[in-house]
Amino acid sequence: MKNLSGTIRERRTIRRYSDAPVEQKVIVSLLNEAAALYEAEGTPHWRCLYAGDPESREELAECMIAKMKGSTLARLLPAKMTDLMKKQIINTPAHLIFIAESGETERQQDINYAAVCSIMQSVQLLGWEQGLGMLWYTDPMMLGEPFYQKIGLREKERFAGILEIGYFDRTPRARKRTPAERSWTILGEESRLLTDPALPAPHSVLKLLNDAVWAPNDGLREPWRFIYVTGGEAARQLRSAGKHALLPLLLVVATEEADPHKQQEDYAAVCCLVQNFQLLAKSEPWKVRRHIPEWVYERDQCKALGLRPLERIVAVLELGGDKNDPESGSLPPEVRIELNSFVKTGPL
Ligand SMILES: Cc1cc2nc3c(=O)[nH]c(=O)nc-3n(C[C@H](O)[C@H](O)[C@H](O)COP(=O)(O)O)c2cc1C
């Protein structure tokens, strides 16, 4: 991406699209490019449905408004309202439905979900550079059983969201983000970081975070916090147990709402922020290795690293190390996209 920091900061959620059609090949290439940009430990599994022709958009609209139609609210609303909503879905040029596949463990499920959300963010950024606007849609008012049945959502699979996509004429105004410094804690000594040029100094990490916080996040809850672990007893224990080769670690933490839907949206928003950070760090002299280690599910270990109740670690980023070292990293995730029908599987 040419001007990544500018793209991240200037991208806006777009809810009104022009009539200009979006070609299927543009969508498929955005998806492939976005998948190739994803870098993390572990191989994620996910799938994607695409509704781009009039018939599949109609099918999608039908299953989205089915829940509305059956609700008490709909009985109070004029029929015109549901017709309008249906029309809006049909008139949106393209819809991509993202699903994280099931995993054997909670960790594998998180790996899959984090990958999908990060790829969705890259799709948004790559699309923005080509003049495409998008809305990440998860509204439970429309997305109920009829929709989940239609997309064939299986037990333990996680629906991540629909990206509604189209060209647009008007860009909405920006809504501010809180500077990362206000959500930032250093754990351990800072002195080593200031003297060792191979290690990312806190100010350079903060600089990237201040761009990365321009991630989409529903309700502008900004549900994140950052713990920069440069040392300390808990970190030393992790290191001596062979759990991390490198320090410093940047822990990217999600604050947890009581409502499960908001919890999921917030986790997704934090994944978008992490993806922004990783993309931005590509132009730094140090490396980023992204993990969801086993220990993030151990409450005591997290507590020792400063985690508060109602918080969880979404990503552990090992920062530093020589960029020229060959890596045995994971393969880019395979793109599985089902084109223009909810039942037919099409080739890429
Ligand atoms: C996980 C997630 C779910 C979202 N769900 C919705 C939604 O259901 N409806 C909606 O209008 N916007 C939704 N959004 C978009 C946010 O409202 C939007 O990102 C936020 O207002 C910030 O605006 P910006 O994206 O222009 O920076 C969602 C965003 C994310 C990351």
pLDDT beyond 60 at 246: yes
The predicted pLDDT at position 345 comes to 39
What tokens does 43 get?
Answer: 């191989």
For residue 220, the CA-to-ligand 1 centroid distance in Å is: 8
For residue 263 and ligand 1, the question of a CB distance below 6 A is answered with no
Burial (0-12, 13-18, 19+ Cβ within 10 Å), 107? middle
pTM of the entire predicted model: 0.94
Q: For 73-89, how does the pLDDT look when each residue is reduced to its tens digit (9 = 90+)? A: 767 777 788 889 999 99
Q: For 24-40, how does the pLDDT look when each residue is reduced to its tens digit (9 = 90+)? A: 999 999 999 999 999 99
Q: How confident is residue 95, by pLDDT bands cut at 50, 70 and 90?
A: very high
How far, CA to CA in Å, does 259 sit from each of 36, 263, 267? 33, 6, 12
Q: What is the mean pLDDT of residues 48-56?
A: 94
For residue 16, the CA-to-ligand 1 centroid distance in Å is: 14
Q: What is the mean pLDDT of residues 155-162?
A: 94
The predicted pLDDT at position 347 comes to 38
Parallel, antiparallel or unpaired: strands 249-255 and 311-322? antiparallel
Which of 79-93, 180-194, 210-224 has the least mean pLDDT?
180-194
Nearest to 222, CA basis, from 279, 273, 162: 273
Q: For 297-333, how does the pLDDT look when each residue is reduced to its tens digit (9 = 90+)? A: 999 989 999 999 999 999 999 998 777 666 645 556 6
For residue 255 and ligand 1, the question of a CB distance below 6 A is answered with no
How far, CA to CA in Å, does 183 sit from each of 251, 253, 319? 12, 10, 19
